[in-house]
Amino acid sequence: MTAPLHEARPSGAGRTLPDTQQGMRRRNLARVLHAVSAEGSLSRAAVASRIGLTRAAVSTLVDELIRWGLLEELGPERPGRVGRPGSALAVSGRGPAGIGAEIGVDHLAVCAVDLRGEVRARAVRRGANRGRAPGPVIEELTALIHQVVAEAERAELWPAGLAVAVPGLVARDGRTVVRAPNLDWHDLDLGPLLPGHGPLTVDNEANFGALAELWLGAGTPGDFLHVSAEIGIGAAVVVDGRLLRGTRGFAGELGHVPVRPDGPACPCGSRGCLEQYAGEEAVLRAAGLEPRDDRVGLLAERAEAGDERVRAALRDAGTALGIALTGAVNLLDPETVVLGGALAELSPWLLPSLDTELKGRTAGPACPVTVSPLGPQGPLLGAAHSVVRAVLDDPAVVAERS
């Protein structure tokens, strides 16, 4: 089984090294960088007390991180404090940047995020990609990537890696799209098609959406189930702050959990899957609406306007989601369920019936359901931040490459 490249695993890279002095030093470099990153700015002494190393050890590590351009000194702290003034450290706003990209069914998007977590460049192109051959889509995406990288470079940033969110299943090699039904792409290795901007990671949009929630969500716990939708229904399971990927990388296929085992046939080969009740096409059909480009917008607009047929369709979708989530909550016992992506936008009409079902089927206190504030931005931000996290988790890699 191939280990995923980028994951919410602090100091993850160090753990694959033998437990030697070198491995320990790499992990401690990551600890220092994470400590400063978490606080915005910190003195050397504060870093030392936070991570339990001596001030001298921390100073050596900090000097290294400054030499690599990952930390910078903000100058002496304001006077009036007791003791010798220390110089405050901050994560650099120049240097490595994470390049995130998203191949959506209705859009392409790219952004650059610096080590401080700020989006420094962004480019979006609307337009239906459904059924288009991969070649022209990747060409357009590559043009957007070049545009964003050029803008980042003008701000003294350099790409530390490229992460691409796709609406489909990705193999554990982190490059091959096994199946993206709404693009009609199959067994496609994106590696040779994309420009080289450091290490490449391709992952499912639901996974990146969940990681964004984990890293950027306010107060998101380390154990949650993230449910999102663009055309299909995707989910991602986060346990102890780590994404559960599954043996083949296919975990989180909530859309094909059987809701009514004798229900309508699903293209996956089963019957009565969640997607047959709560997928966008099923909901549009139940609502009596013709698909257009912005399907979610259409549903939200009509529900907002009080269209009873649309509201009933969304209510039924919420019920089906509640049944499938009851099974998932029984299996995983997450701290919360987070609705992201398109489901966040539609949550006012989905949540009441979803909640009723989940509460009615749960002995004891039901698992709370919350709505992601990131919504449709999640996958793109998650992709870019995954590159940033990889640098924070093993800063020595930057030194090896620069």
Check binding of 9 to a copy of itself (CB under 8 A): no
Using CA atoms of 179, 184, 185, 186 in order, give the dihedral in degrees to the nearest 10: 50
Q: Measured from the CB atom, is 335 or 355 closer to a copy of itself?
A: 335
**How far is the C-alpha of 207 from the C-alpha of 282, rounded, in Å?**
23
Residues in 45-74 that interact with a copy of itself by CB under 8 A: 51-53
| DSSP single-letter state for residue 321 | H
Question: Among residues 12, 100, 318, 334, which is the contact residue for a copy of itself, using CB under 8 A?
Answer: 334
Nearer to a copy of itself, 160 or 254 (CB): 254
Tokens of 262: 């004798």
Give the shortest CB-169-to-a copy of itself separation in angstroms.
Answer: 9
What are the strands of the beta sheet with 41-43, ordered from one edge?
Answer: 41-43, 87-91, 71-76
Q: Which is nearer to a copy of itself, 41 or 362 (CB)?
A: 362
- The reply on whether position 82 binds a copy of itself by CB under 8 A is no
- Closest approach of a copy of itself to the CB of residue 98, in Å: 25
Identity of the residue numbered 127: G
> For residues 196 and 261, which CB has a smaller minimum distance to a copy of itself in the complex?
261
Q: Give the span between the Cα atoms of 112 and 117, in whole angstroms.
A: 9
Q: Which residues does 148 contact at the CB level (< 8 Å), separation at least 6?
A: 99, 110, 111, 112, 121, 122, 123
Q: Scan residues 358-387 and list those touching a copy of itself (CB under 8 A).
A: 360-363
User: 3-class secondary structure for 329-354?
Assistant: HHHHCCCEEEECHHHHHHHHHHHHHH
Among 327, 352, 373, 375, binds a copy of itself (CB under 8 A): 327
268 is a contact residue toward a copy of itself (CB under 8 A): yes
Which residue in 205, 253, 316, 394 binds a copy of itself (CB under 8 A)?
Answer: 253
Q: Is 176 in the site for a copy of itself (CB under 8 A)?
A: no
Nearest partner of 229 among 392, 96, 354, judged by Cα: 354
Tokens 């982190």 correspond to 174
Compose the 207-236 pattern: x for residues touching a copy of itself by CB under 8 A, - for all others: --------------xxx-----------x-
Tell me which residues in 19-48 interact with a copy of itself (CB under 8 A).
Answer: 19-20, 24, 27-28, 31
Helix (H) and strand (E) counts for the chain?
Answer: 13, 16
